[in-house]
Amino acid sequence: MDQEALKQLLFDAIQRLENNGLIDYHFRECYLLKEDGGTRFFFDLISNFSTDVGKVVKQMGKTLNQPHVDLSEMNELCIKLKGSAACIGACRISAACSNLSHAIEKESKEGCLQVLNDIKHEYKNLQHRLSEILRVEQELISRYI
């Protein structure tokens, strides 16, 4: 497959994610920053986002499994996750974080656990689909080198 066909494949994958409501226009903007950020910028951004979300979600789970939940820690983790999700355009994760904020405000451990499960589901769904984008992006990178 030539470079233009790979780019079209990538744009089609991004469009599908947008059409499914998993990402918003910020994701495409991140891709367009690749020109200024270097060949690996977008690939590294997506990889780092995935790693960071995994770590934050894991820490949220640990925090919620404590006998006495530290709501200030949960709030900090929620803000971090929502910021990351919003910056990259992961709108469903960002929306779930808003729900988590409400559960934290209500001091509802049960509510936080339910929303954390929603976040895990959205993250897993998005990560599965981002893997296709990363494969194509890696192929494009290998052609630049």
Question: Domain holding 40: CATH number?
Answer: 1.20.120.160
The rounded mean pLDDT for the chain is 94
Confidence at residue 36, expressed as pLDDT on a 0 to 100 scale: 72
Tell me the residue range of the domain where 42 lies.
3-144
How confident is the model over 65-109, as pLDDT tens digits? Answer: 999 999 999 999 999 999 999 999 999 999 999 999 999 999 999
**pLDDT of 135 strictly over 70:** yes
Q: Count of domains in the chain?
A: 1
| Mean pLDDT value of segment 9-27 | 94
How many other CB atoms are found less than 10 A from the CB of residue 39?
A: 16
The reported pTM is: 0.90
User: Is pLDDT larger for residue 1 or for residue 49?
Assistant: 49
